[in-house]
C-alpha cells in the first residue's frame, strides 16, 4: 500500500472525532490534504510522500534520536522543529503518533 492510500485509511479512523476533518481542498501546497483539528493541521502526507505529524519539539527530538523520523523540511531548507517526518519503516506507528499529534494540536492532555 502506498502512503497516500495508507493515509486515506488512517483519515477514515479519525472521521468519528467531531473536531477532526480531512481537508482535501482545491488548493495545492502545504496541508492541502491533511488531518485537521479545529482547523489546525496535525497530520499529513507531504509533497515528498512522507507521513508528517506535529508534536512538541522535545518529542520530535526524542523520536528522531530513536530513528523513527526526522525534522520535516517542507522544501525550502528550513527544518520545522515541531514537525516529524516518519521514516518509511515506521508505518506501524502512524496511528499512535497521529493520536499523539491530535492531542497536542487540539490542546488535550
pLDDT tens-digit profile of 39-66? 899 999 988 889 999 999 999 999 999 9
Contact 61, 79 (CB under 8 A): no
Q: In the predicted model, is pLDDT for residue 27 greater than 60?
A: no
How far is Cα 16 from Cα 44, in angstroms, rounded to an integer? Answer: 18
State the average pLDDT over residues 21-26: 65
Q: In the predicted model, is pLDDT for residue 26 greater than 50?
A: no
Joined grid coordinates for residue 9: 485509511
Task: Record the pTM.
Answer: 0.87
Could you state, in order of their start, the residue ranges of all structural domains in the chain? 3-106
CATH number at 3-106: 3.30.1460
How far is Cα 95 from Cα 91, in angstroms, rounded to an integer? Answer: 9
Amino acid at each position: 500500500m502506498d502512503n497516500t492510500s495508507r493515509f486515506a485509511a488512517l483519515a477514515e479512523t479519525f472521521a468519528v472525532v467531531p473536531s477532526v476533518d480531512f481537508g482535501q481542498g482545491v488548493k495545492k501546497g502545504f496541508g492541502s490534504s491533511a488531518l485537521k483539528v479545529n482547523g489546525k493541521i496535525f497530520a499529513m502526507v507531504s509533497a515528498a510522500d512522507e507521513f508528517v505529524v506535529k508534536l512538541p519539539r522535545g518529542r520530535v527530538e526524542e523520536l528522531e534520536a530513536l530513528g523513527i523520523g526526522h525534522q520535516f523540511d517542507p522544501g525550502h531548507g528550513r527544518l520545522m522543529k515541531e514537525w516529524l517526518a516518519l521514516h518509511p519503516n515506521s508505518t506501524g506507528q502512524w496511528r499512535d503518533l497521529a493520536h499523539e499529534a491530535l492531542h497536542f494540536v487540539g490542546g488535550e492532555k
